[in-house]
Amino acid sequence: MACVYIPVQNSEEEVRVALDQLPRDASDILDILKAEQAPLDLWLIIAREYFKQGKIEQFRQILEEGSSPEIDEYYADVRYERIAILNALGAYYSYLGKIETKQREKEDHFILATQYYNKASRIDMHEPSTWVGKGQLLLAKGDVEQASAAFKIVLDGDRDNVPALLGQGCVQFNRGRYSDSLELYKFDVAIMNFGKRALQVYPNSPGAVRLGLGLCRYKLGQFEKARQAFQRVLQASESIDPENVEALVALGIMDLQTNEAAGIQKGMEEMQRAFEIYPYCAMALNYLANHFFFTGQHFLVEQLTETALAVTNHGPTKSHSYYNLARSYHSKGDYEKAGLYYMASVKESNKPREFVLPYYGLGQVQLKLGDFRSSLSNFEKVLEVYPENCESLKAVGHIYVQLGQTEKALELLRKATKIDPRDAQAFLELGELLILSDAGAALDAFKTARGLLKRGGEEVPIELLNNIGVLHFERGEFELAEQTFKEALGDGIWLAFMDGKIEFSAIDSSVSTRQYKDIELFQRLEEDGVSMELPWDKVTTVFNHARLLEQLHDTEKASILYRLILFKYPDYIDAYLRLAAIAKERNNIQLSIELIGDALKVNDKCPNALSMLGNLELKSDDWVKAKDTFRAAREATDGKDSYATLSLGNWNYFAAVRSEKRGPKLEATHLEKAKELYTKVLVQRPANLYAANGAGVVLAEKGHFDVSKDIFTQVQEAASGSIFVQMPDVWINLAHVYFAQGHFALAYQNCLRKFFYNTDTQVLLYLARTHYEAEQWQDCKKTLLRAIHLVPSNYTLRFDAGVAMQKFSASTLQKAKRTADEVRSTVAELKNAVRVFSQLSAASSHHFHGFDEKKIETHVGYCKHLLDAAKVHCEAAEREEQQNRQRLEVARQVTLAEEARRKAEEQRKFQLERRKQEDEVKKMMQQEEHFERIKEQWKSSTPAPKRKDRSQIEQEEGGHSEKRRKGGKRRKKDKSPRPHYDSEEAEADMMDNHEEMEDEDANMMNDQDTNQMNDQDDDGADNAQDLLAAAGLEDSDAEDDVDAPMSAVNRRRRAWSESDEDEPSERQPGSSLNRENSAELPESDGEVREESD
């Protein structure tokens, strides 16, 4: 072991001091040193030894003693040693200042250091080591330029001064940071040169030199050489500094960055070693924390980063530490804390260009916490640095979606997909964004995503396939949709159901009415060992597939799938609703209501279920309940659900046109309310077709035909384009309006073919009505017969047909000219009419179909009367025909004769012939006159004045109700025939119509009476008896006239004047359809959206 020898003053002896046995108390040594006036270099050696042994206090004590004023005085001429002592102290305090974290102490240390150096300079201001020390101090203070100047002074004197060279290298290295890459390169080269020169001069230089060199190599991208340098630091310095933490950390970082398992492993070992050697190296701590973050040991991460934060003051490093901490909390889901630390990290570095990750993290956390604006700004910062970063582009796009700036979002996502056309995720998001705006483009995007995933050998997520399927579905590409759904679902029990492979045992037919509630079959199958597995992520797709089957009319399979869903997931409300819809479609109202009840058991606030229940209650004529239900539905959605509001609007509209007392005031109130509700919906959703339709109806009801026509036309245009929106009502309404304005519309016919497969008798009735108005009796009759064929149990139709036939006959008989054939067919028709009426009257003893038996009797009587009269007509017509024939024969002969002697007396004879003919004509005239008188009897049954006018009158007199009593009575009877068949709750209309009919009856009768009066006047007293009889019948005819259109011809009297009282009823199935559809489609969207988060 090394020793120093302190010469004893005034003698040859020396005191031997073993360096490894320095006394604990430095005062002992100091006493010796002082007593023996030992040379100052010994002081220094001993102090350094203390330092090496970590005995900092002793080290400081000796040096401070060694630099005291007395020593200065005593050793005044020993300049170098004194400087060395001062420099050692200066270096010591520089170091203290450098590692001190507290700002105040740091300052103090630096001040002390400065003082020592200044003192040293005063002894010899040219001493290079002092300048080097000053340079280091300046470096430590971050004053790079001055430091450089200090080193330069030394190097100017001795260009091979190693410490100065290193110092200058350090300066350059630090400068390099702030320069752009080219300069950086230059500087690095410069540093390298310094470093190399240092090594050349002093090959055994401390590790620091090689370390610096390694760092430079690293910066220049010469990783291999850098690695060698670091390794040599550790090897070479084994004796001096075998545990150079920086070198270890540097090597560790390099190994970690190899990104290979082995490298990372090695890197971590190095880091760990560094940590064991010196637990306060922030860099190593950060990297370790980083590692433990990935291994998921969050507790360690927190510990390490907290230590790192405590030991370092270096902004970027702290930033890293905060980042690590934030990341840890982020992954644990503690977004609040994560956000705070990200924020701290951002604040520490504050330069996105250097360390962008915390901005990204912060953006993510803020996005998660819903702070879109801040999140957006952070992601945008990321994009400033990396404008083509797909993840950030997607994130920003997503935020724009949330902020409702779809255009911007689209732009960004499109950019993202353009930058990386293989990023399936970006296409996925793009597709989701496009779903609402452009289904076609969305489909393309989804398909691309699917293709990419498939090519990449990845499993295509079921959500994606589901969405593709739904989009195909919405576009009406059912086959593609089915394929996609099947692909999404893969193998499972559902396949067996879809392919019909599972046979169901027969069920008792009385139970079969409840088949849509039956899930026992699954239990049975399960008992038989069939697995009923239905993974949760496939439920949506199974549901959608069932919807598709429903659309394809494969209702049975659809119902099985719905039930399968319910068997496994009894809370799946939509499945109940669809089953209820199927039951409703099949007219199984009871079951439908039960299923809705099940749905409400799951969620008694489900607005869809409530709306549907209301609809069903309307269907079963439970008005008050329906209103309550609709109200509940509206409340359940805070009035946001248009459907409930719409239904209430409809309800009010019905109430307006059906109310028992038919007070104009009440009616107006209801109409107003209906209008208000429709308007409310329109304000919320300006594109709501049903609300627009409703508003149109109300307007038409008020007589604003032109406005309502415009509305209907627009709705009609808008409605033709989606497979889910089917609005026959608007077609009918439009037809009604045209009709009301006097255009006989064939729109009914189109409507019938387009929407109802010709099965809607109501529309047939409208059609018959147009024929009736146009006096196309045969067409009218045929149309009615078709209707009867469709709904044979609707006796009203038969009555109408009878009336049509009667009208036909009467009109033929009134014709001035008619052939015998015509009369004969009239007779046949009359016989039919009589038969129809008598059958009705006979049937009325069996059923109640709303006809007054007496009235039918009158019809029968009238027809029979006509029949009798027709016989006379018939004979007359036949006689006339006979005569005509004879006359023609004579004429022909005459012409022949004339031919023979034409030349002779042509002109004169012709004259004669003329006269003869005239005589004949006169005779004819007489006969005609005779018939005319009979005809007069029919005149009174002249077609009534144009309907329109009458309806006008009727409207005016809408309120007055002389005949109310009778109306009421009949109304009750009227109930029976239709309700079963009418597609909707038409009873209301029926009543109204009836009532109205009564009114009109009254009006009409008056009308007719006056007509008759006139007729009578004209006619004179001649044939009074006949007339009287006729008048009585005429009266009945008059009533029929009116009745036919009303009671009979569907009493759509309102069609022209008030327009469309029954549309709303029809509208309902339509709108409910829509509703039901929309119920599950958003469903699937929803799921996907969740997924994308």
Partner 1 sequence: MKLAGLKSVDNAHEESIWAVTWVPATDARPALLLTGSLDETVKLWRPDELVLEGTNTGHCLGVVSVAAHPSGVIAASASLDSFVRVFDVDTNATIATLEAPPSEVWQMQFDPKVRKDNIPARTLIALKSPNRCQASDISLASSVISIHTSLLRKTEFLPYRTDYLKHPGIILAVAGGGSASVKLWDTATWQQIATLSVPRPEGSKPSDKSGSSKFVLSVAWSPDGRRLACGSMDGTISIFDVSRAKFLHHLEGHFMPVRSLAYSPVDTRVLFSASDDAHVHMYDAEGKSLIGAMSGHASWVLSVDVSPDGAALATGSSDRTVRLWDLSMRAAVQTMSNHTDQVWGVAFRPPGGTGVRAGRLVSVSDDKGISLYDYSGM
Sign of the dihedral defined by the CA atoms of residues 76, 80, 86, 89, in that order: negative
- Taking the least distance from each CB to partner 1, the nearer of 202 and 756 is 756
What is the nearest approach in angstroms of partner 1 to the Cβ of residue 791? 8
- Taking the least distance from each CB to partner 1, the nearer of 258 and 793 is 793
Sign of the dihedral defined by the CA atoms of residues 663, 668, 674, 676, in that order: negative
Structure tokens at 1008: 């007719």
What is the nearest approach in angstroms of partner 1 to the Cβ of residue 591? 9
CA dist list (Å): 911 to 812, 902, 915, 917, 918 = 37, 13, 6, 10, 11
- Taking the least distance from each CB to partner 1, the nearer of 669 and 976 is 976
DSSP 14: E
What is the nearest approach in angstroms of partner 1 to the Cβ of residue 793? 4
**Binding footprint of partner 1 on the chain (CB under 8 A):** 500, 504, 506-510, 512-513, 515, 552-557, 585-589, 757-759, 782, 785-786, 788-789, 792-795, 801, 828, 831-832, 835-836, 839, 842-843, 845-849, 975-977, 979-981
What is the nearest approach in angstroms of partner 1 to the Cβ of residue 778? 11
Structure tokens at 7: 């010469």
Q: Which of 248, 220, 252, 222 is nearest to 233 (CA)?
A: 248
What is the nearest approach in angstroms of partner 1 to the Cβ of residue 261? 57
What is the nearest approach in angstroms of partner 1 to the Cβ of residue 977? 6
- Taking the least distance from each CB to partner 1, the nearer of 874 and 1042 is 874
- Taking the least distance from each CB to partner 1, the nearer of 174 and 825 is 825
- Taking the least distance from each CB to partner 1, the nearer of 759 and 884 is 759
- Taking the least distance from each CB to partner 1, the nearer of 669 and 844 is 844
What is the nearest approach in angstroms of partner 1 to the Cβ of residue 1009? 34
- Taking the least distance from each CB to partner 1, the nearer of 444 and 554 is 554
* Rounded Cα gap, residues 193 and 449, in angstroms: 54
What is the nearest approach in angstroms of partner 1 to the Cβ of residue 980? 5
Residue 399 sits at the vertex; the CA angle it makes with 395 and 402, to the nearest 5 degrees, is 140
What is the nearest approach in angstroms of partner 1 to the Cβ of residue 545? 15
- Taking the least distance from each CB to partner 1, the nearer of 649 and 802 is 802
What is the nearest approach in angstroms of partner 1 to the Cβ of residue 973? 10
Structure tokens at 862: 């009238």
Q: Which of 740, 715, 733, 577 is nearest to 1065 (CA)?
A: 733
DSSP string, 287-317: HHHHHHHHHT-HHHHHHHHHHHHHH---HHH
Q: In DSSP terms, which residues pair with 5 in a beta bridge?
A: 16
Residue 54 DSSP SS3: coil
What is the nearest approach in angstroms of partner 1 to the Cβ of residue 594? 14
Residue 110 sits at the vertex; the CA angle it makes with 106 and 112, to the nearest 5 degrees, is 120
Tokens 């001064």 found at: 161
DSSP string, 723-740: SS---HHHHHHHHHHHHH
Q: In DSSP terms, which residues pair with 6 in a beta bridge?
A: 15
What is the nearest approach in angstroms of partner 1 to the Cβ of residue 839? 6
14-18 and 3-7 as β-strands: parallel, antiparallel, unpaired? antiparallel
- Taking the least distance from each CB to partner 1, the nearer of 946 and 980 is 980
- Taking the least distance from each CB to partner 1, the nearer of 557 and 963 is 557
| Contact of 579 with 518, CB cutoff 8 Å | no
Which distant-in-sequence residues (6+ apart) come within 8 Å of 470 by Cβ?
481, 544, 1081, 1084, 1085
* Ramachandran bin of 529, using left for φ above 0, alpha for ψ from -120 to 50, beta for the remaining angles: left
Structure tokens at 288: 């370790």
* Rounded Cα gap, residues 820 and 395, in angstroms: 88
What is the nearest approach in angstroms of partner 1 to the Cβ of residue 581? 13
Structure tokens at 500: 């019909």
- Taking the least distance from each CB to partner 1, the nearer of 759 and 911 is 759
Q: Which of 31, 128, 130, 37 is nearest to 75 (CA)?
A: 37
What is the nearest approach in angstroms of partner 1 to the Cβ of residue 1080? 19
- Taking the least distance from each CB to partner 1, the nearer of 437 and 759 is 759
Q: Which of 90, 215, 207 is nearest to 150 (CA)?
A: 90
Structure tokens at 411: 């732009």
What is the nearest approach in angstroms of partner 1 to the Cβ of residue 588? 5
- Taking the least distance from each CB to partner 1, the nearer of 321 and 1072 is 1072
CA dist list (Å): 303 to 277, 306, 309, 342, 802 = 18, 5, 10, 17, 98
Around Cβ 474, how many Cβ atoms within 10 Å?
A: 18
CA dist list (Å): 1063 to 83, 621, 729, 731, 747 = 110, 17, 6, 10, 15
* Rounded Cα gap, residues 387 and 138, in angstroms: 39
- Taking the least distance from each CB to partner 1, the nearer of 504 and 724 is 504
